[in-house]
Structure 1
Amino acid sequence: MKMELISRETIKPSTPTPPHLKTYPLSFIDNIVFRNYVPLLFFYAPNPNHRQTSTITTLKQSLSQVLSLYYPFAGTFKDQTSIDCNDQGVSLLLTNSSCNLSSILRNPTEASLKPLFPDQLQWKSMNTSSSILVIQINSFACGGIAISLCMSHKVADAATLSNFINDWATLNRHHHQQQQPPLPFPVPGASFFPQENLPLFPEVPFAENNTVCRRFVFEASKIDSLKALVSSCNVENPTRVEVVSAMIYARVVSTLGLSPEKTSFRTAVNLRRRTVPPLPEKSVGNLVWFMLVIGGRKMELDELVVKMKEGLREFSGTYARKLGREGRDWLFISECLKSASSSCGEESDEGLVCCASWCGFPMYEADFGWGKPLWLTSSGCPVRNSVVLMDTRDGGGVEALVNMEEKHMARFQRDVELLRYASLNPTLEFL
């Protein structure tokens, strides 16, 4: 695929950040998060009614507008705990491709997707003076568009990214209307999780291993089969994320020959709806904490789902309560941060399977005026034995991006039990 870089520029907020907002405090969770870029990539079908020049111009203008709402993204890191909201702006790259969108979607490989991300920053660490958000708009010969974002993890989790892309899309979609839809300022995470007198622990380094990534798609009908299998063992209301997570965890342990009693499953839990009181959906930052499920002798799927459900109940009763405003326990929080910060390199331990679920976030609602995305995805992550779960376009299935060492992936991707329920990198037939 031939890609031509057309331009590289900086987009600043349309309205200057007010003086009283110039220093943006980060939350006590943000403060220990490393500054690597989280990648996200959206594909949009060709629209014959749009001309490329006017489309790009409108995207720039609406991006400038949305940055006035998400003003910290246009600043630079002042230190580990705050952002200087100096309106430096975000980097925007524009490219043209000589190929059609369909050639990518027929066989979406890491090699074909890499050039679509800005400067190949996906999961890379950033300098303190670098742009917090970097965007690349890729135009294809057929008229299709792919928009990629690389956002510093230190200021955003998946929910924050989803909110940002949807607000940008909304402003772009209504750009030519005299009255823009009212969009509230997102609420800073530090409003709920302030640093205050807590000790400042080091940022957790982002483990980087030599991994390969494979995409496995669990269609809705296969997930229903997994749910039925688990329900037949008296497990009530298994969710699609639970059964898919349990299946992947079980097959990782089996194919890699790990000890189930010594291999833990760690997943990120969104705190927004679990704290008391709940946090606004448009809270900005890393409003997540980690739930750890310890394996056991039995590796039956229903047993694993039960452990996940029990773990989530315990998490909500302990972590979400003690982290939230009601029932907040500062000593408990300090110990949590200390433990997370001192577990540097834990991700490199083969006795750990890490999972992040981005399912349920309305990323497929991001309509810039040309219709909803055909497909969205991320990029291979250099954390060994890590998994990112995302919705399929129909909302009923799950796409799993699994990252492993190459020698282990060779076995995992041929696992017969896994392939009964998941397809390895199926073609995307949208065009």
Structure 2
Amino acid sequence: MAHSIIPTSSTRLFPDEPSSACTVPLSILDASVGNFAPAAAAWVYDVPPAEGKSALTPALLKLSLIKTLNAYPQWAGQLQYTQYNPKGGHTSRSRRCKVTYGIPADPGVEFVVADSSTDIASLFPSVEERTSGAGAFDASSLGELELLPKSPDLASHSSADFTGLPCLIVQVTNFKCGGSVIALKSSHPLADAQTLTTFINDWAAVNRALFYNLPLSLLSPIFLPAALDGAASGDIDAASPDPEIVKIAHELPIHRYDWWTPVEGCPAPEAATIPPHLASLTDIELGPPIPWHEWDLTAPVSNFLLYFSADELARIWAAAVSPGHTISRFDALQAHVWAVLMLAQGKSPEEEFHMNLSLGMRDRVVPPLGARALGSPIVLARASGTTGMSLAELARAIRAVVVSFTPVRVAAVLHEMAFDVDSRRMWGGFIGWRNTIVTSWMRLGVYEVDFGGGRPRFVQAVMPAMAGVIQVMEAMPQSSSGGPWYQDGASVSLMLSTDVIQRMLKDPLLRKYRGQSS
């Protein structure tokens, strides 16, 4: 293979400061994402300047990672699903998660070093290549690069086979030119995008300090999953949920697809059943089936990166604003991409489409958790629309969904989810032609990750090749820091069926607002 990446070593890393033996139940929302793909990303670095050449050596990165784990000991621990106890509290219900760490049996963090005989510039686009011309870069081939090892599995991959498996895997790939790629993937119950970025920024700070022989900064991540659960309404350890609180939870626009409801087209019907330890329950009411028929698993999938300049975002926003309504630039951008995507699907104007928005809950609970709170406190929220809706109407639909997640309703949905018969049963979203998942990595500082040799050339969210996922982050900063997220434009990653993406790229609507005068 022309772009082969060859692993040269792998080892398990642990904190070098002892921590007390500890078992921590993860939060209600952490457990709900057990069947999500791993949180994963790659940071791509050009050849550093002469004075920074040694900042990205595997030896230094390994040492700094060990030092960073002193503030993140749970990531060297054993993630597992809890033992089901029908008479226990909310943390011992079916397939909840916990992590044990600070004991000799900790599996550690998998640390892999690999080499590539190619150059960084031949594989990963520069900012000019991503933003020039049509502003659409075909990144499909990047998904074929083995920037992360195929084995071992992460501990969250199975509720039965987890012993000895890590919950964090790191790979450092050295390229012929002297550049490097640092890639991470974590079990989703322990990390959403914000947690992953918090961690790598802390790791980079430790690496810089070691490289420049400076005092190590005091890292202050917040690993308190119980704080989220404490924001739930009512008594979540009671024998049954409060129906009045559940009624409030159902005011929120959330899909509640039922994994256990039999349906034709399910790719794993033997797994989509009530697990044996719950077989004796007689009061299970099955919910709406997962619409597997809407997702063609055999269709080719492509990944394109679309660049939207600050001026283009401003024009889209201006077109989406309507009197008496507050719309953000992010609302407008999502609505614009959604409008083009719905047309590209080629369905009738009456068909309803759903944008499943990944919303962070850190600042939507009382008291707020704070930006450095670790875990995966996210909920998928459903916005619905049709091709007959205007850009302004789609933007308002998205904004209405976002503002509906008030602290009172979020507290209620936490109560509802705490009583789920099984934490992996209900799916808050889906993909396919009708459903699209959108995740935002904005305002996370993904391009501020400096290990000592400068900022990255390119940051890539590593996603499985499944049609129906959109990811948004800032474009690479080119102006001074401190401005709004959109000051240098936005990068939108489309992971969609190849034919759908091609129709989107050919549709003049996609670039309707590019190059116009303000």
TM-score (norm 1): 0.85
Q: Distance in 1 between matches of 2:514 and 2:463?
A: 18
Tell me the equivalent position of 1:162.
197
Residue 141 of structure 2: which of 95, 108, 111 is its match? 111
Q: Distance in 1 between matches of 2:393 and 2:152?
A: 35
Residues 234-279 of structure 1 show CA distances to partners (whole Å, capped at 9, x for unaligned) of: 3655323211111111111111023565212210111112222211
Tell me the equivalent position of 2:187.
152
Q: Distance in 2 between matches of 1:155 and 1:260?
A: 40
Q: Which runs of 5+ in 2 are unaligned?
A: 82-95, 126-136, 242-255, 261-271, 273-289, 478-484
Tell me the equivalent position of 1:417.
509
Q: How far did 1:84 drift? A: 2.0
Contact 2:55–2:208 under 8 Å retained in 1:
no
For the pair 1:172 / 2:207, whether they are aligned, the reply is yes
Q: How far did 1:41 drift? A: 0.8
Q: Which amino acid aligns with 2:99?
A: I
Contact 2:56–2:180 under 8 Å retained in 1:
no
Tell me the equivalent position of 2:118.
99
For the pair 1:281 / 2:371, whether they are aligned, the reply is yes
Q: Which amino acid aligns with 2:474?
A: D
Q: How far did 1:333 drift? A: 4.3
SS of the residue corresponding to residue 453 of structure 2 reads coil
Tell me the equivalent position of 1:366.
449
Tell me the equivalent position of 2:404.
314
For the pair 1:138 / 2:140, whether they are aligned, the reply is no
Contact 2:308–2:491 under 8 Å retained in 1:
yes
Contact 1:355–1:387 under 8 Å retained in 2:
yes
SS of the residue corresponding to residue 131 of structure 1 reads coil
Tell me the equivalent position of 1:250.
339
CA 1:407–1:378: 2 relative to 1, 3 Å: same
For the pair 1:191 / 2:192, whether they are aligned, the reply is no
Q: How far did 1:355 drift? A: 0.8
Q: How far did 1:224 drift? A: 1.2
CA 1:163–1:272: 2 relative to 1, 3 Å: same
CA 1:190–1:114: 2 relative to 1, 3 Å: farther
Q: How does 1:24-423 map to 2 (within 5 A)?
A: 24-35=24-35, 36-47=37-48, 48-51=50-53, 55-79=57-81, 80-85=96-101, 86=103, 87-106=106-125, 109-120=139-150, 126-127=157-158, 128-129=162-163, 130-175=165-210, 176-177=212-213, 179-193=215-229, 197=237, 209-210=297-298, 211-231=301-321, 233-234=322-323, 238-258=327-347, 259=349, 262-295=352-385, 298-316=388-406, 318-322=408-412, 330=415, 332-334=416-418, 337=420, 341-344=424-427, 347-394=430-477, 395-396=485-486, 397-420=489-512
Q: Distance in 2 between matches of 1:345 and 1:383?
A: 17
Q: How far did 1:61 drift? A: 0.8
Q: Which runs of 5+ in 1 are unaligned?
A: 324-328, 424-431
Alignment identity in percent?
21
Q: How far did 1:349 drift? A: 4.8
CA root-mean-square deviation? 3.3
Tell me the equivalent position of 2:267.
none
Q: Distance in 2 between matches of 1:358 and 1:122?
A: 27
Contact 1:31–1:203 under 8 Å retained in 2:
no
Q: Which amino acid aligns with 2:74?
A: P
How many residues were matched structurally? 413
Q: Distance in 2 between matches of 1:162 and 1:319?
A: 28
CA 1:386–1:61: 2 relative to 1, 3 Å: same
Contact 1:248–1:418 under 8 Å retained in 2:
yes
Contact 1:268–1:290 under 8 Å retained in 2:
yes
Q: How far did 1:416 drift? A: 2.1
SS of the residue corresponding to residue 42 of structure 1 reads strand
Q: Which moved more, 1:135-144 or 1:112-121?
A: 112-121
Contact 1:377–1:390 under 8 Å retained in 2:
no
Q: Distance in 1 between matches of 2:382 and 2:421?
A: 16
